[in-house]
Structure 1
């Protein structure tokens, strides 16, 4: 503990001591909370103002200890745990972003074990470089750019907490670089493989046993079709989708289905491709709690019931395994262009590929539909550019315009 000068001032029956260090004009304070020494700067030069500030800080720390909140010092682990508490509180209230879970995991797994006892004001470029090397050794390989983005965002949450408490100035917050491996092409389905998959699903369902096994296969079929025709995120947006989030409307004698999707990013509306309504009708017809209600009437009731459920209304967590079993049986598991196994998320990538190449959708429109950034679309689907521009590269667009011109001559 810091040696105190003779002019140390004692508050609250000795619980708080206010003093000055020789090289500072500001009054300091120290006190003990649950066997944990806390040392703070009051930020005050005036003694009476410093006493008031020290007393207020002591009472705040006592409150935190009583309510099982972190007792905060300038040590990294204490500030990080406070940031974690804040993110978890938001998640529990349903207001936090889903990515907060990833931030919390990164802080527990990497940042707190390495930086733990280090004062947040002491973390400099060299210390961060040492951390980067240590993290690579723990992971076993260089982290990808997407992983580094998540980790950097988690670290920034801690620094935001430190800045808000006056532990560090914003100008002193280190810039966290992302030199990770760039975005790689993700496994999807070619048009031929997608057609093969859709053609084989009904027969695969018929081959299944009765009961839950058959129910899982039927749900998988409609799940695949809906995700591949909307681009929604498997694992987040699909789990949050309720019937109250589905709207069917008619314009120019055509029916459209709109989804309100909430998950990794801020909520958005997305339009399903033609045929998506039919897949929703099939799920509705199998769900015991609502199948007796006409489909259009059921949608207008805005029921808070999951869309992707089994007939008894339960939500399964095993569609991923069922999908893998189907792809394996159908010889479709391996994506020939990436060499990686296809997963449920491949359906989202397939939607993006078809939208860009077959539908000619503009990138900014696709980004809005999929709830991502234009930059993300460009990074992950840049390999499609030659196919998107094939007519221009081959001169086919010019030939088409000439043909049309000749016909009107």
Structure 2
């Protein structure tokens, strides 16, 4: 049996269990029982503690320091647990981890203690303004970075909506936002691509007998492989030899690749130009089936070649990276008249994305005879 005493007109009870020498106390806040230990063995001291605890508790409630509703942190915890389970095998593990990083580094420090009803369009705008304010180095996050954070915020709030913790989603639209200019992805034109692979081939020959020979040969094959498959760099980094097979298709020898990336598992069929680089890598590395095709990053060597050959920027001033090899694959396929739907499917993207970011490069896709149509008119006498 527990010994119990009432104080403050019955608002707080101090009690001690028969198995313990320490007094505890409890009260009710919005019909919810709140309790704590006084850590006192003396009843008099325990009552003093309970009075101070009760007054401090209600002071925090009046100041809004204690929420009587679920907080953003509660919804974020549930979202993190559910998202990892529901996207297993469908989303790249790194993509899921990046979502968690955005929560931990930016969203939770700002929204974490806020009640879900406090997540209003005004508060969202405060967050945007805070993130777009330059730091001590004068840097601000890119538009795409901030947009990804808002995507995670929206997912957390949708989790709260499904649980019935809120009645509706706040407005996530960005005030004062004009239609954004469509940016075209940096790629290598046929002339620039030829200049690039000739430079990497020359670099590999000059490295013969030197300690960086393997790295130079791998980088040359990397450039050819990427430009003939359209893989994203992260997809190529995840690629194992067992994921690639040489097959005959439509009278051509090509690579059939099982791709694991941000879109989960998909398939890619290369052009014939990817076969020889792959065969060279097999001969050079004598790999086990689970070995990575590209166990080392070639960022420094690749950037050095671009700088030396004057290829680091395209004519619009866009910076070229390894991702530009994927863009080159897509543009070259379109230049050669490939079906845009098949290209999108092979690259695990959408027709809309290709039309928006790539097709503007392809001037030969414009049909002059269809554009310059003129109505026939009677000859004037």
Question: Normalising to structure 2: TM-score of the pair?
Answer: 0.73
Once the two structures are superposed, residues 271-321 of structure 1 have per-residue CA deviations (whole angstroms, 9 ceiling, x without a partner) of: 10112111110000100446xxxxxxxxxxxx222122xxxxxx213x111
Counterpart for residue 342 of structure 2: 365
Find the partner of 1:316 among 276, 296, 303: 296
CA contact (8 A) 1:76 1:115 kept: yes
What residue number does 1:404 align with? none
- Give the equivalent residue in structure 2 for 1:38: none
Shift of 1:265: 1.0
Map Cα deviations across residues 151-187 of structure 1 (whole Å, 9 max, x no partner): 2221123224323544223xx1223226484441222
- The equivalent residue for 2:292 is 306
SS in 2 for 1:99: helix
Checking the alignment, whether the CA contact within 8 Å between 1:230 and 1:270 is kept in structure 2 is: yes
Between 1:203-212 and 1:111-120, the stretch displaced more is 203-212
Q: Determine helix, strand or coil for the equivalent of 2:152.
A: helix
Distance 1:20 1:347, change over 3 A: same
In the alignment, the residues of structure 1 paired with residue 158 and residue 16 of structure 2 have an alpha-carbon distance, to the nearest angstrom, of 32
Match of 1:155 among 153, 156, 168: 153
After superposition, the Cα gap between the structure-2 partners of 1:275 and 1:73, relative to the gap in structure 1 and judged at 3 Å, is same
**What is the CA distance between 1:124 and its match in structure 2?**
0.8
CA contact (8 A) 1:5 1:19 kept: no
- Of 28, 33, 36, 2:32 maps to 28
In structure 2, the partner of 1:377 is: 354
Aligned to 2:309: 330
Query: What residue in structure 2 maps to residue 184 of structure 1?
Result: 183
Name the residue aligned to 2:222: 223
Cα 1:126–1:279, aligned 2, differ >3 Å: closer, same or farther? same
Is the contact between residue 324 and residue 343 of structure 1 (CA under 8 Å) also seen in structure 2?
yes
Report deviation, 1:343: 0.9
Structure with greater contact order relative to length (CA < 8 Å, sep ≥ 6): 2
Aligned to 2:260: 262
Flag the 1:224–1:107 CA change in 2: closer, same or farther, 3 A: same
Using the TM superposition, give the Cα deviation of residue 323 of structure 1 relative to its aligned residue in structure 2, in angstroms.
Answer: 0.3
Q: Note the alpha carbon deviations across 1:118-147, whole angstroms, 9 max, x for none.
A: 112211111111111111115767865533
Counterpart residue number, 1:346: 324
SS in 2 for 1:343: coil
Does the aligned pair in 1 maintain the 2:230–2:330 contact within 8 Å? Answer: yes
Deviations 1:205-229 (A, max 9, x none): 1223745411111001111111111
Equivalent residues in 2 for 1:1-400, closer than 5 Å? 19=28, 21=30, 27-30=31-34, 74-84=70-80, 96-97=91-92, 98-138=94-134, 146-169=144-167, 172-177=168-173, 179=177, 181-208=180-207, 210-234=209-233, 236-251=234-249, 253-289=251-287, 303-308=289-294, 315-317=295-297, 319-335=298-314, 337-356=315-334, 358-384=335-361, 386-392=363-369
Q: Deviations over 1:236-281 (max 9, x none)?
A: 1011111221122224543232111111112211110112111110
For 1:375-398, what per-residue CA distance to the aligned partner results, in whole angstroms no more than 9, with x for missing partners?
2222212523643114545779xx
CA apart distance, 1:29 = 4.4
Do 1:9 and 1:19's aligned partners in 2 also have CA atoms closer than 8 Å? Answer: no
Change (3 A) 1:389 1:330: same
Which is greater in Rg? 2
Q: Secondary structure at the match of 2:212?
A: helix
DSSP 3-state at the match of 2:264 = coil
Give, in angstroms, the shift of residue 104 of structure 1: 2.2
CA RMSD of aligned residues (A): 3.6
SS across alignment from 2:195: helix
Moved more, 7-16 or 97-106: 7-16
How far is 1:348 from its partner? 0.8
Q: How many Å separate the matches in 2 of 1:120 and 1:203?
A: 60
Change (3 A) 1:342 1:9: same
Is the partner of 2:246 in helix, strand or coil? strand
* Number of positions where the alignment pairs a residue of Structure 1 with one of Structure 2: 325
In structure 1, the residue matched to 2:54 is none
